[in-house]
């Protein structure tokens, strides 16, 4: 090849290398040179030849392109070629060249050049010496490769790795090597990157909690064999003494035969989160205990107070004056209200502490049952209730029953005296969820209060007008939030309100009964 280039230099006026057609070279050589020029352009690698005898430098077309210089207007020379490198890189370049000549050895460096327009390009330059019979270096043949694109991608990857604040790893399964990126050393408690484990075995010994080994193996096997998602929590000893919780995520690469050859992943420190969750679980347990104690220790005495006051009133009604009777009524009502308040508060507290237990639940049967339970109130209010055949969904049956009950009870309670209460219950199947609605033609809610009423103790009326504790809708909101849904109301004052709520689908939700026709209620 060198011989071909020298020949080319000789026959073309040195820098017209692309104009092979006009040279005296044989056709086969012209074809080879054309192909070479094409390969260089495609691969972004140019070649150069530094002749030490006359201190001349030859550049192939691609070297000109890499330098952003015009093939016809520029004559390369060694000094200018070195000057093309950034000032801070020049010394290394000069050193590499002189060392190569001195030691008669090949060299390689990765540095940056600046084009005449100011654009910086990342290049890899490689070269090897040519020697004469007396073992003296006569020339250097070299290549220069523009790696700016790769370099920018690497920089982007490195920046993303640093920004993610995760330890990033790359395991070559065949070679059994482990590479790290980003802030891995710092995150895993090592002083230097080179101290990081270099094999998975090393990782298991140096970092992994012995009790988590099985779990990690299982996750690898499930991912490699069945391509299951790899996302587990592990304990790693980042200080050599104490373990911290990390979330490990990974993605493998498989060969055509299904064998995993590489797996890359991240380790995120989630220790504080796990600790907070543990504390939360503890405090939930405390809350649950409180709720149970309160249920027994508060409800029972309250019931006795109310009961005995009632007995006192019934037995001694004749002996009591009007004023005493009035006070007694206040006390009985107060005890009853307190009982309801305690009951509602307990419900809210236990909702917070217990979360939900989702199962497949036939809402249609539940609704019919609930309406039967409310039959007396419905009759008393002379209410008309229309409802669709509701679907079977995955939800917490007790809590969702309670929610329907609360909303229907409110729709009955907040009816007007001037209109026959009419309540409609239905749903729509949306893309990700079921959207239910309970519509009434009652007193309505001012638009500016439509969000507030879902907060604890938010009531828009006096107790004497409408009884209640102001907790019911807060319970509904919490219930729906625990199901991953949303609840809201659309209302017009004195026209009525529609409460909407959604219950997201579960993969295995059974919605076979969703197409039920509208049925008339009671």
Give residues in contact with ligand ADP (CB under 6 A): 410-411, 414, 440, 442-443, 445, 453, 458-461, 468-474, 497
Torsion of CA 118, 120, 126, 131, to 10 degrees: 10
Smallest distance, ligand ADP to C-beta of residue 380, A: 17
Smallest distance, ligand ADP to C-beta of residue 409, A: 8
**Nearer to ligand ADP (CB atom), residue 124 or residue 482:** 482
Map residue 413 onto helix, strand or coil. Answer: helix
Smallest distance, ligand ADP to C-beta of residue 364, A: 22
Among the residues of 138-178, which ranges form H helices?
A: 148-164
How many angstroms separate the CA atoms of 426 and 386, rounded? 8
Give one DSSP letter per residue of 298-350, joined into a string: HHHHHHHHHHHHHHHHHHHTTTS-HHHHHHHHHHHHHHHHHHHHHHHHHHHHH
Smallest distance, ligand ADP to C-beta of residue 452, A: 8
Letter string b/e over residues 442-468, b meaning 16 or more CB atoms within 10 A of that residue's CB: bbbbeeeeeeebbeeeebeeeeeeeeb
Cβ neighbours of residue 194 closer than 8 Å, sequence gap 6 or more: none
Smallest distance, ligand ADP to C-beta of residue 454, A: 7
Torsion of CA 202, 208, 211, 213, to 10 degrees: -50
**Nearer to ligand ADP (CB atom), residue 353 or residue 438:** 438
Which one-letter DSSP state was computed for residue 85? Answer: B
**Nearer to ligand ADP (CB atom), residue 330 or residue 466:** 466
**Nearer to ligand ADP (CB atom), residue 265 or residue 472:** 472
**Nearer to ligand ADP (CB atom), residue 9 or residue 498:** 498
The number of angstroms, rounded, from the C-alpha of 299 to the middle of its chain's C-alpha atoms is 45
Residue pair 386/324 in contact (Cβ under 8 Å)? The answer is no
Residues β-bridged to residue 487? 501
**Nearer to ligand ADP (CB atom), residue 337 or residue 506:** 337
Smallest distance, ligand ADP to C-beta of residue 215, A: 45
**Nearer to ligand ADP (CB atom), residue 89 or residue 440:** 440
**Nearer to ligand ADP (CB atom), residue 232 or residue 445:** 445
Smallest distance, ligand ADP to C-beta of residue 295, A: 20
Helix 322-354, helix 271-316: angle, nearest 10: 160
Cβ neighbours of residue 315 closer than 8 Å, sequence gap 6 or more: none
**Nearer to ligand ADP (CB atom), residue 410 or residue 433:** 410
Smallest distance, ligand ADP to C-beta of residue 336, A: 14
Smallest distance, ligand ADP to C-beta of residue 442, A: 5
3-state DSSP helix/strand/coil % of the chain, to nearest 5:
45, 25, 30
Q: Are strands 45-51 and 56-59 parallel, antiparallel or unpaired?
A: antiparallel
Helix 397-413, helix 363-373: angle, nearest 10: 50
What spatial distance separates the first Cα and last Cα of the chain, rounded to whole Å? 97
**Nearer to ligand ADP (CB atom), residue 188 or residue 411:** 411
**Nearer to ligand ADP (CB atom), residue 316 or residue 461:** 461
Smallest distance, ligand ADP to C-beta of residue 474, A: 6
Smallest distance, ligand ADP to C-beta of residue 271, A: 39
The CB-nearest residue to ligand ADP is 468
CB count within 10 Å of CB 14 equals: 13
How many angstroms separate the CA atoms of 235 and 269, rounded? 10
């Amino acid at each position: 090849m060198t011989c071909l280039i020298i020949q080319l230099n000789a026959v073309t006026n040195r820098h017209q290398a692309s104009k092979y057609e006009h040279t005296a070279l044989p056709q086969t050589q012209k074809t080879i040179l054309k192909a070479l020029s094409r390969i260089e352009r495609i691969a972004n690698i140019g070649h150069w030849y530094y002749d030490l005898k006359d201190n001349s430098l030859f550049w192939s077309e691609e070297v000109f392109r890499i330098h952003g210089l015009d093939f016809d207007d520029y004559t390369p020379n060694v000094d200018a070629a070195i000057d093309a490198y950034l000032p801070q890189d020049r010394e290394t370049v000069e050193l590499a060249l002189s060392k190569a000549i001195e030691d008669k050895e090949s060299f390689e460096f990765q540095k940056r050049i600046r084009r005449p327009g100011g654009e910086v390009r990342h290049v890899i330059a490689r070269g090897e010496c040519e020697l004469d019979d007396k073992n003296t270096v006569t020339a250097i043949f070299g290549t220069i490769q523009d790696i700016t694109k790769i370099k920018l991608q690497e920089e982007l990857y490195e920046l993303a790795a640093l920004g993610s604040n995760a330890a990033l790893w790359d395991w070559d399964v065949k070679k059994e090597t482990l590479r790290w990126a980003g802030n891995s050393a710092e995150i895993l408690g090592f002083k230097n990157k080179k101290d990081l484990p270099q094999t998975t075995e090393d990782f298991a010994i140096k970092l992994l909690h012995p009790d988590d080994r099985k779990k990690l193996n299982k996750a690898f096997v499930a991912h490699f064999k069945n391509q299951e998602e790899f996302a587990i929590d592990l304990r790693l000893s980042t200080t050599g003494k104490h373990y911290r919780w990390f979330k490990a995520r990974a993605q493998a690469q498989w060969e055509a035969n299904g064998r995993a050859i590489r797996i890359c992943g991240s380790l995120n420190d989630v220790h504080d989160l796990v600790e907070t969750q543990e504390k939360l679980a503890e405090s939930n347990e405390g809350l649950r205990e409180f709720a149970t104690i309160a249920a027994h220790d508060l409800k029972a005495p309250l019931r006795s107070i109310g009961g005995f006051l009632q007995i006192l009133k019934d037995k001694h009604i004749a002996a009591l004056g009007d004023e005493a009777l009035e006070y007694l009524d206040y006390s009985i009502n107060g005890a009853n209200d307190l009982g309801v308040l305690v009951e509602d508060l307990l419900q809210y507290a236990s909702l917070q502490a217990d979360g939900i237990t989702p199962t497949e639940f036939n809402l249609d049967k539940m609704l019919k049952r609930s309406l039967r339970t409310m039959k007396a109130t419905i009759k008393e209010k002379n209410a008309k209730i229309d409802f669709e055949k509701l679907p079977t969904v995955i939800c917490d049956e007790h809590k969702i029953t309670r929610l329907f009950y609360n909303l229907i009870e409110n729709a009955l309670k907040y009816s007007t005296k001037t209109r026959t209460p009419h309540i409609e219950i239905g749903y729509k199947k949306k893309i990700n969820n079921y959207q239910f609605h309970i519509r009434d033609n009652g007193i309505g809610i001012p638009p500016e209060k439509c969000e507030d009423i879902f907060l604890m103790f938010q009531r828009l009326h006096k107790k004497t007008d409408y009884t209640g504790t102001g907790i019911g809708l807060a319970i509904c909101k919490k219930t729906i939030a625990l199901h991953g849904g949303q609840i809201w109301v659309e209302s017009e004052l004195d026209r009525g309100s529609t409460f909407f709520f959604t219950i997201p689908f579960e993969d295995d939700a059974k919605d076979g009964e969703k197409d039920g026709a509208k049925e008339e209620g009671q």
